[in-house]
Amino acid sequence: MVSSRLQTLYPTFLFVGEETYVPGTTTITTSPTFIVDPIDGTTNFIHGFPFACISLGFTLSRLPTVGVVYNPFQDLLFTGIRGGGSYMQRNASLNLSQFPKQKLPLAGGGDADRAPVLGGLSSALVAVEWGSQRDGENFEIKARTFRKLTASKENGGGSMVHSLRSLGSAALNICACAAGQVDLYWEGGCYAWDVAAGWCILNEAGGRMVSGNPGGWETELDSRVYLAVRGASAGQREIVEEFWGMIGDGRMEYQH
């Protein structure tokens, strides 16, 4: 339904989706492209855990330009347009005035320059996912990093983050970061359709997407390795560098 509706309305635009993706063949070009995951959070959906959504992104020149993320189970809608800000709306389908759109980030009243300072990992709430690949070097890097993030500083050599969270949906994790509900989201193994919509929403909330591997301040839409940091009045660069320090020399590598 999503692909046919969009291709009928915009026949000259390209379409990339999880169900249409062909490994080694499908690429994201500079052309206007819809990048869609009709159900992000499939495992949650199967189990009836109410954190699943549609992730509908639109890119121009490979840049996230429009993002729509909607969780129908919680009637929670996130939207963003490049240069136009991003918003969250609860009970979105009711269209009632008592549930207005809230500009992101929430804690800054829609102004990232007024959002709380990022004070470092020891005061951070971090979103992560285990992913479906549970062996090999990528899995070992994740497991080691999870341990270092949560271990005590004094005896464990870690950063003692407040805690880790796993919503089970890359799009919803990124939107939580855009809203300022989590400080960081680290992921390896997901695809462009998981992150395109949320990426636009994050950018418009003053957040930043960098590489999930150390040192990559710029990362491609289809890199498959991401680190999202929320909008803040200060501390973004410092917390990213601190996080990369927890990863150390490891580098996650995923095929396209």
- 111 as an active site residue: the answer is no
- 222 as an active site residue: the answer is no
Sign of the torsion angle spanned by Cα atoms 197, 198, 202, 208? negative
Question: Looking at 40, 129, 183, 187, which residue is catalytic?
Answer: 40
Quick check: 88 and 102 in contact, CB under 8 A? yes
Q: What is the CATH number of the domain that holds 92?
A: 3.30.540.10
Which pair of tokens denotes residue 255? 């095929």
Provide mean pLDDT across the span 65-72: 98
Residue 218 CB-density burial (10 A; 0-12 exposed, 13-18 middle, 19+ buried): exposed
Residue 180: its pLDDT value, please?
98
- C-alpha–C-alpha distance, residues 61 and 157, integer Å: 42
Q: What is the CATH number of the domain that holds 165?
A: 3.40.190.80
Residue 97: its pLDDT value, please?
77
Residue 64: its pLDDT value, please?
97
Question: Looking at 37, 183, 187, 204, which residue is catalytic?
Answer: 37
- 75 as an active site residue: the answer is no
pLDDT digits (tens, 9 = 90+) for 144-193: 999 999 999 888 789 999 999 999 999 999 999 999 999 999 999 999 99
Feature table: binding site for Mg(2+): 18, 37, 39-40, 194
Feature table: binding site: 18, 37, 39-40, 194
The CA-based angle 9-14-19, given to 5 degrees, is: 100
- Domain endpoint, select from 61, 78, 107: 107
Band of pLDDT at residue 95, cut at 50, 70 and 90: confident
Quick check: 184 and 213 in contact, CB under 8 A? no
- 37 as an active site residue: the answer is yes
Q: Are residues 99 and 170 in the same domain?
A: no
Structural domain including 19 reads 2-107
The CA-based angle 236-34-191, given to 5 degrees, is: 55
pLDDT digits (tens, 9 = 90+) for 116-132: 999 999 999 999 999 98
pLDDT digits (tens, 9 = 90+) for 166-177: 999 999 999 999
Question: Looking at 129, 187, 194, 204, which residue is catalytic?
Answer: 194
- 129 as an active site residue: the answer is no
Q: What is the pTM of this model?
A: 0.96
Provide mean pLDDT across the span 50-60: 97
- Domain endpoint, select from 107, 140, 165: 107
- Provide the domain count of the chain: 2
Q: Are residues 96 and 138 in the same domain?
A: no
Long-range contacts of 58-62 (CB under 8 A, 24+ apart): 58/32, 58/33, 58/34, 58/196, 59/28, 59/32, 59/33, 59/35, 59/196, 59/221, 60/30, 60/32, 61/30, 62/28, 62/29, 62/30, 62/220, 62/221
- 40 as an active site residue: the answer is yes
Residue 21: its pLDDT value, please?
79
Asked if the structure places residue 116 within a domain, the reply is no
Q: Are residues 90 and 141 in the same domain?
A: no
pLDDT digits (tens, 9 = 90+) for 16-36: 987 787 877 788 899 999 999
Q: What is the mean pLDDT of the chain?
A: 95
Among 234, 122, 143, which Cα is nearest to 186's? 143
